[in-house]
């Protein structure tokens, strides 16, 4: 106890080393504190308690928040780049992957030359059919031309009839 | 030497990475908070001060690689920032009402019977320099040389202030004890 008395006096004079102060803290944290020293127990206990005190809110958020903003920018840039790349690839690939075909007789034909020849042939056939369809119209014209003199006869007869009535 | 001048002297920088910043500064944030709270005697103000300091240090992180004792440097910066805050708010002379130490009446004793709480208020009631030094030494267990650097005092001046602070606390504890005994025997 005498040694602790001296150490305490040295402590209050501000002359103790860190090691001696740790010894004092250990002494007051244990159960065998002399009654005369009991009054100082709370002081050393308070120092220990204050050491456990932490910041009210997590201060470590300061930097992660900044990093998060940076990460958001990086992620945005990355996603935009990826999206742009995908669009570019789709655009480049589109003409090659696009399927141009025709269905002829229920068959899928992808050969454009064949389809063109087939289409021209069919159009020619349609043309011929139309031409043939117009042939009867020529007969109608001929009949019309042949009947036209009869129309003149009819006109003359009407003229004669009119003269006779007048007279 | 002010922190700004100290930093401007560090011309050859390497950029401090965030992981290094975390390990060297953010990991001491609780210690910085306790330190700021001891000076400002206000939890919210201490919190704000630490946030402000960390942001300032982060902005100047590329200048910190040359700092030998980062803990002492940040503590010193913290103290300077807190003292600036006090000067700006002109609250140094008078204690804030919530921290003012008032002798408890018998009714209050039942509510505030916690001696530790009263001792904390006794320390808070010390002048800024003394409460800063006693907490750096007795709570954070820092060397006198480190405290001298942080407070810009000589080691001898630190020891003198430490002794005065401890003597005052001892005196208050003894008075408190005497008052309690008198209350009991009345």
The one-character DSSP state at A1 is -
Q: What percent of chain B has pLDDT over 90?
A: 38
Residues A105 and A87 in one domain: no
Contacts of A108 (CB under 8 A, 6+ apart): A101, A102
Q: Is A160 within the bounds of a domain?
A: no
Lowest mean pLDDT among A33-47, B11-25, B77-91, B109-123: B11-25
Comparing alpha-carbon positions, the chain B residue that sits nearest to A24 is: B138
pLDDT score of A167 more than 60: no
pLDDT value, residue A20: 94
pLDDT score of A61 more than 80: no
Per-domain residue ranges for chain B?
A: 12-95, 101-186
Q: Confirm or reject contact between A17 and chain B (CB < 8 A).
A: no
Q: For B49-81, how does the pLDDT look when each residue is reduced to its tens digit (9 = 90+)? A: 998 898 888 888 777 777 888 888 899 999 999
- What's the CATH number of domain B101-186, 3.40.50.300, 3.20.20.70, 3.40.350.10, 1.10.10.10? 1.10.10.10
- Chain A nearest C-alpha distance from B79 (Å): 16
> What's the rounded mean pLDDT across residues B73-93?
83
Q: For all residues of chain B together, what is the average pLDDT?
A: 79
Phi/psi at A73 (5° precision): -60, -45
Residues A35 and A48 in one domain: yes
Contacts of B6 (CB under 8 A, 6+ apart): B73
User: Tokens 């910085």 — which residue?
Assistant: B32
Q: For all residues of chain A together, what is the average pLDDT?
A: 81
pLDDT value, residue B110: 46
Position B92 confidence tier, pLDDT thresholds 50, 70, 90: very low
Residues A45 and A11 in one domain: yes
C-beta of residue B83 within 8 angstroms of C-beta of residue B123: no
pLDDT value, residue B137: 95
Q: Confirm or reject contact between B51 and chain A (CB < 8 A).
A: yes
> What's the rounded mean pLDDT across residues B137-160?
94
Domain count, chain A: 3
Compare B8 and A146 and report the one with higher pLDDT.
Answer: A146
pLDDT value, residue B106: 56
User: Tokens 């005369």 — which residue?
Assistant: A36
Compare B67 and B138 and report the one with higher pLDDT.
Answer: B138
Residues A48 and A6 in one domain: yes
Position B89 confidence tier, pLDDT thresholds 50, 70, 90: confident
Burial letters for B21-50: b for 16+ Cβ neighbours within 10 Å, e otherwise? beebbbebbbbbbbbbbbbbbbeebbbebb
**A53/B30 touch (CB, cutoff 8 Å), yes or no:** yes
Comparing alpha-carbon positions, the chain A residue that sits nearest to B21 is: A63
Q: Is A153 within the bounds of a domain?
A: no
Q: For A71-98, how does the pLDDT look when each residue is reduced to its tens digit (9 = 90+)? A: 777 778 888 888 888 888 887 776 555 5
**A62/B58 touch (CB, cutoff 8 Å), yes or no:** yes
Spatial distance between the Cα atoms of B44 and A161, rounded to a whole number of angstroms: 131
Residues A117 and A76 in one domain: no
pLDDT value, residue B10: 43
Q: Is A64 within the bounds of a domain?
A: yes
How many beta-carbon pairs below 8 A join chains A and B?
87
Phi/psi at B126 (5° precision): -70, 160
Residue B135, SS3 per DSSP: helix
Q: Is A126 within the bounds of a domain?
A: yes
pTM beyond 0.80: the answer is: no
Contacts of B124 (CB under 8 A, 6+ apart): B38, B41, B95, B99, B101, B131
Range(s) of the domain holding residue A22: 2-53
pLDDT value, residue B14: 46
Q: Which of A11, A29, A62, A70 to mutate to test the interface with B (most CBs of B within 10 A)?
A: A62
Spatial distance between the Cα atoms of B75 and B29, rounded to a whole number of angstroms: 10
Burial letters for A17-45: b for 16+ Cβ neighbours within 10 Å, e otherwise? eeeebebbbebbeeeebeeebeebebbbb
User: What contacts 24+ positions apart, CB below 8 Å, involve B157-165?
Assistant: B158/B133, B159/A14, B159/A15, B160/A14, B161/B129, B161/B130, B161/B133, B162/A14, B162/B130, B162/B133, B162/B134, B162/B137, B163/A12, B163/A13, B163/A14, B163/A15, B164/A14, B164/B130, B165/B123, B165/B126, B165/B130, B165/B131, B165/B133, B165/B134
Fold for the domain defined by B12-95: Rna Polymerase Sigma Factor; Chain: A (1.10.1740)
Element (H, E) at A119: helix A112-166
Q: Per residue, what are the HEC states of B46-91? A: HHHHHHHHHHHHHHCHHHCCCCCCHHHHHHHHHHHHHHHHHHHHCC
Q: For B154-185, how does the pLDDT look when each residue is reduced to its tens digit (9 = 90+)? A: 999 999 999 999 999 999 998 888 887 777 76
Spatial distance between the Cα atoms of A129 and A136, rounded to a whole number of angstroms: 13
């Amino acid at each position: 106890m005498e040694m602790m008395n001296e150490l305490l006096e040295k402590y209050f004079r501000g002359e103790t080393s860190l090691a001696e102060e740790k010894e004092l803290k250990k002494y007051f944290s244990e159960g065998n504190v002399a009654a005369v020293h009991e009054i100082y127990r709370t002081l050393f206990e308070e120092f220990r308690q204050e050491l456990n005190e932490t910041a009210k809110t997590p201060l470590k958020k300061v930097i992660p928040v900044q990093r998060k903003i940076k990460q958001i920018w990086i992620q945005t840039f990355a996603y935009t780049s990826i999206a742009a790349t995908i669009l570019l690839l789709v655009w480049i690939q589109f003409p090659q992957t696009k399927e141009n075909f025709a269905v002829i007789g229920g068959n899928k034909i992808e050969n454009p030359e064949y389809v063109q020849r087939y289409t021209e042939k069919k159009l020619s056939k349609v043309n011929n059919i139309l031409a043939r369809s117009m042939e009867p119209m020529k007969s109608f014209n001929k009949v019309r031309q042949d009947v036209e003199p009869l129309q003149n006869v009819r006109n003359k007869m009407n003229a004669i009839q009119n003269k006779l009535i007048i007279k | 030497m002010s922190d700004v001048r100290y930093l401007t002297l560090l011309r050859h920088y390497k950029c401090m990475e965030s992981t290094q910043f975390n390990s060297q500064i953010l990991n001491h944030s609780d210690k910085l908070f306790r330190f700021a709270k001891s000076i400002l005697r206000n939890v919210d103000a201490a919190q704000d001060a630490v946030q402000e300091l960390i942001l300032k240090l982060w902005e100047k992180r590329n200048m910190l690689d040359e700092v030998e004792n980062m803990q002492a440097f940040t503590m010193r910066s913290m103290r300077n920032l807190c003292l600036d805050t006090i000067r700006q708010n002109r609250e140094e002379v008078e204690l804030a009402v919530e921290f003012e130490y008032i002798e408890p009446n018998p009714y209050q004793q039942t509510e505030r019977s916690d001696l530790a709480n009263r001792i904390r208020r006794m320390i808070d009631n010390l002048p800024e320099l003394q409460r800063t030094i006693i907490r750096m030494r007795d709570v954070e267990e820092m060397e006198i040389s480190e405290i001298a650097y942080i407070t810009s005092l000589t080691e001898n001046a630190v020891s003198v202030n430490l002794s005065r602070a401890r003597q005052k606390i001892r005196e208050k504890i003894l008075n408190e004890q005497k008052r309690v005994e008198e209350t009991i025997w009345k």
